[in-house]
């Protein structure tokens, strides 16, 4: 009985203590079900390109533009038009009509007709129709047998001025230019997302290394506290020194906790770019291969040349200029009067049934042909096409001005990016020197402390100085790599440098 008195309270307390440990998070261990995902920077960029929804959405916009090319090409798709009709006409004749008739005072006709026509447009702008028509008529009032007429012929209408030549393919060429512009928008979206992902990657590297720096700082403070405890126990140190060490350790643990949360935030940011929402996956990037790749010192002329060949805004504006030139040429064509050459040629046949009528079409000498011209001109000077031509010229000038504006903007962005690369590299060298000095000063202070010539406060202050110097150096290393990424974005070479460049494909 006395054992139950002891065991029952323990059993009741155990769930509560376990719950308290889990909720406070003081010593909660990571879940054993958590999956580790280790990626290099190159592997991570590939996942960004393959999985990011914003990139995928812009890619589908590009696919839509390619379908527009196919839609415009459909103007040359031939069509087959079939028609079958059967009807009856039964009417009474008027008094005037009766006076001209001999056999009957009414009409009662049964008609059958069939036609098959292939029509289409040629690249020259000509409309071509090739067809066969057959019709049969039986007049019940006259007591006649069914008689069939047939016609096989071709009809061509060729524009000679307006709508001739390139006017037929202008919309197709314009759609191709629009597709090229859409492709550059797709590249631009990919660059923007990859740039943000790379920046977040370096932020993650900074957060991970900052946590290491602060953990080292905690380790130093813990050793100092243990040393002070031993000295206080031996009566070689005042109690206030112990309190200084405890306060220093508490402050550094607070910094460590903050750094750990920053690392969690950086990891989640990385996950967002690859559309990974699984909280059980612990993502880790290995940045060692990319850490020392700062490249050669950039020059403005070289970067500007690269930008002209790769920058999406420049390439899309150049495509826009070509499109507007094409539309100006088309608008000039539409200013011409409409002059069409019309021609047709056909064979006629007649028979008591459909087969005889078809055979007679090829055997008889009854042919039909005609050739002519149709001339159409607006009497008011064709105000519509004149306005369209002026608008096309304005759009062309506008596109040229946009290209000049893009050149100026890109030049300034590249100049800023290059100077940022040089500045951050210079700052890294300065902070590296400062960090080495602070390391030496801390070593000196530690020796003085061991000999009893310094205090915990001074030692912790020197450790603080080293801590700040390390974080400043780390921040500038991160800023250097982010500046290099910014320069690659300004040049338009970001995708190429990370093996993610895409090429346009003809539909």
DSSP codes, 269-290: HHHHHTT---TTEEEEEE-HHH
Q: 282 and 36 in contact (C-beta within 8 Å)?
A: yes
Separation of CA 178 from chain center: 15
Residues 263 and 366: their CA atoms lie apart, in Å, by: 92
**Beta strands, E only, 93-126:** 106-121
Angle at 399 between CA 397 and CA 400, to 5 degrees: 65
According to the model, what pLDDT value does residue 233 have?
84
Q: In this structure, how many other beta carbons lie within 10 angstroms of the beta carbon of residue 204?
A: 24
Whether the pLDDT of residue 479 is over 90: the answer is: yes
Whether the pLDDT of residue 135 is over 90: the answer is: no
Alpha-carbon torsion (140, 142, 145, 146), positive or negative: negative
Question: Three-class SS of residue 455?
Answer: coil
The continuous run of DSSP H or E covering 151 comes out as strand 147-159
* Residue among 256, 272, 230 nearest 55 (CA): 272
- Backbone φ and ψ of 434, nearest 5°: -65, -40
* Residue among 192, 191, 186, 184 nearest 323 (CA): 184
Question: Three-class SS of residue 375?
Answer: strand
Alpha-carbon torsion (191, 193, 196, 200), positive or negative: negative
Q: Mean pLDDT throughout 129-142?
A: 79
Q: 242 and 232 in contact (C-beta within 8 Å)?
A: yes
Q: 249 and 225 in contact (C-beta within 8 Å)?
A: yes
- Backbone φ and ψ of 331, nearest 5°: -65, -35
Q: 149 and 56 in contact (C-beta within 8 Å)?
A: no
Sheet holding 338-351, edge to edge: 79-92, 106-121, 127-139, 147-159, 338-351, 367-376
Compute the CA torsion angle 332, 333, 337, 338 (nearest 10 deg). Answer: -160
**Conformation bin of residue 36: beta by default, left when phi > 0, alpha when psi is -120 to 50:** beta
Q: Which two tokens stand for residue 179?
A: 């597709």
Q: Looking at residue 335, what DSSP letter applies?
A: T
Q: Looking at residue 103, what DSSP letter applies?
A: S
Residues 6+ apart with CB under 8 A from 351: 147, 148, 150, 357, 358, 359, 360
pTM for the whole structure: 0.80
> Residue 92 — very low, low, confident or very high, per pLDDT cuts 50/70/90?
low
According to the model, what pLDDT value does residue 236 have?
81
Q: Mean pLDDT throughout 457-484?
A: 93
Q: 205 and 287 in contact (C-beta within 8 Å)?
A: yes
Whether the pLDDT of residue 84 is over 60: the answer is: yes
Q: 136 and 341 in contact (C-beta within 8 Å)?
A: no
> Residue 95 — very low, low, confident or very high, per pLDDT cuts 50/70/90?
low
More confident residue, 87 or 180: 180
Whether the pLDDT of residue 504 is over 80: the answer is: no
Domain residue ranges in the chain: 34-68+173-322+395-497
Distances (CA, A) of 137 to 87, 105, 146, 352, 504: 10, 18, 5, 10, 60
Q: Which two tokens stand for residue 163?
A: 């709508």
The least confident of 22-26, 229-233, 462-466, 467-471 is 22-26
Residues 48 and 190: their CA atoms lie apart, in Å, by: 9
Whether the pLDDT of residue 333 is over 70: the answer is: yes
Distances (CA, A) of 490 to 196, 419, 497: 13, 13, 13
More confident residue, 281 or 58: 58
More confident residue, 35 or 20: 35
**Conformation bin of residue 143: beta by default, left when phi > 0, alpha when psi is -120 to 50:** left
According to the model, what pLDDT value does residue 290 have?
83
Which tens digit of pLDDT belongs to each residue from 273-288? 999 888 888 899 998 8
Q: What is the mean pLDDT of the chain?
A: 85
According to the model, what pLDDT value does residue 24 have?
34
According to the model, what pLDDT value does residue 299 have?
93
Q: Mean pLDDT throughout 77-85?
A: 90
According to the model, what pLDDT value does residue 35 have?
85
Burial of 77 (0-12, 13-18, 19+ CB in 10 A): exposed
Whether the pLDDT of residue 25 is over 90: the answer is: no
According to the model, what pLDDT value does residue 2 have?
39
Q: 83 and 115 in contact (C-beta within 8 Å)?
A: yes
Rg (alpha carbons) of the chain, rounded to whole number: 43
**Which architecture, in CATH terms, is 34-68+173-322+395-497?**
Up-down Bundle (1.20)
Q: Mean pLDDT throughout 398-407?
A: 94
Looking at mean pLDDT, say which of 133-142, 378-387, 394-403, 450-459 comes out highest.
Answer: 394-403
Q: 123 and 168 in contact (C-beta within 8 Å)?
A: yes
């Amino acid at each position: 009985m006395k054992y139950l008195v002891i065991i029952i309270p323990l059993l009741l307390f155990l769930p509560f203590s376990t719950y308290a440990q889990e909720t406070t998070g003081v010593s909660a261990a990571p879940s054993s079900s958590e999956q580790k995902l280790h990626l290099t920077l190159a592997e991570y960029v590939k996942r960004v390109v393959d999985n990011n929804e914003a990139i995928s959405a812009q890619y589908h916009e590009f696919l839509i533009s390619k379908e527009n090319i196919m839609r415009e090409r459909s103007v040359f798709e031939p069509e087959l038009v079939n028609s079958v009709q059967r009807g009856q006409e039964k009417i009474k004749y008027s008094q005037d009509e009766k006076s001209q008739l001999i056999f009957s005072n009414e009409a009662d006709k049964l008609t059958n007709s069939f036609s098959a026509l292939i029509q289409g447009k040629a690249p020259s702008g000509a409309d071509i129709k090739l067809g066969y028509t057959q019709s049969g008529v039986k007049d019940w009032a006259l007591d006649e047998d069914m008689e069939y007429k047939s016609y096989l012929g071709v009809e061509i209408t060729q524009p000679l001025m307006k709508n001739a030549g390139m006017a037929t393919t202008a919309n197709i060429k314009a759609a191709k230019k629009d597709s090229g512009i859409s492709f550059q928008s797709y590249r631009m979206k990919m660059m923007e997302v990859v740039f943000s992902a790379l920046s977040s990657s370096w932020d993650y590297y900074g957060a991970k290394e900052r946590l290491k720096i602060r953990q080292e700082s905690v380790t130093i403070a813990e050793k100092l506290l243990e040393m002070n405890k031993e000295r206080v126990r031996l009566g070689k140190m005042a109690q206030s020194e112990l309190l200084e060490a405890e306060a220093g350790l508490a402050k550094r643990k607070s910094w460590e906790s903050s750094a750990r949360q920053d690392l969690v935030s950086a990891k989640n940011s990385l996950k967002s770019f690859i559309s990974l929402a699984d909280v059980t996956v612990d993502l880790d990037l290995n940045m060692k291969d990319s850490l020392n790749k700062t490249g050669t010192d950039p020059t403005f002329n070289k970067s500007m040349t690269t930008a002209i060949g790769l920058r999406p805004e420049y390439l899309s504006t150049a495509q826009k200029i070509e499109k507007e030139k094409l539309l100006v040429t088309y608008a000039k064509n539409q200013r011409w009067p409409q002059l069409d050459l019309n021609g047709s040629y056909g064979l006629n046949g007649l028979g008591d049934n459909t087969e005889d009528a078809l055979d007679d079409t090829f055997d008889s000498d009854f042919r039909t042909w005609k050739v002519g011209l149709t001339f159409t001109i607006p009497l008011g000077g064709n105000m519509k096409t004149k306005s369209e031509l002026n608008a096309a010229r304005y759009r062309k000038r506008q596109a040229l001005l946009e290209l000049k504006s893009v050149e100026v903007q890109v030049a300034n962005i590249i100049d800023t990016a290059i100077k940022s690369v040089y500045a951050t590299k210079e700052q890294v060298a300065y902070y590296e020197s400062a960090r080495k000095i602070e390391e030496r000063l801390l070593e000196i202070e530690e020796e003085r402390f061991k000999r009893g010539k310094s205090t915990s406060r001074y030692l912790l202050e020197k450790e603080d100085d080293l801590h700040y110097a390390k974080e400043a150096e780390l921040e500038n290393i991160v800023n250097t790599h982010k500046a290099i990424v910014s320069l690659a974005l300004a040049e338009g070479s970001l995708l190429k440098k990370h093996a993610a460049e895409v090429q346009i494909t003809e539909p």
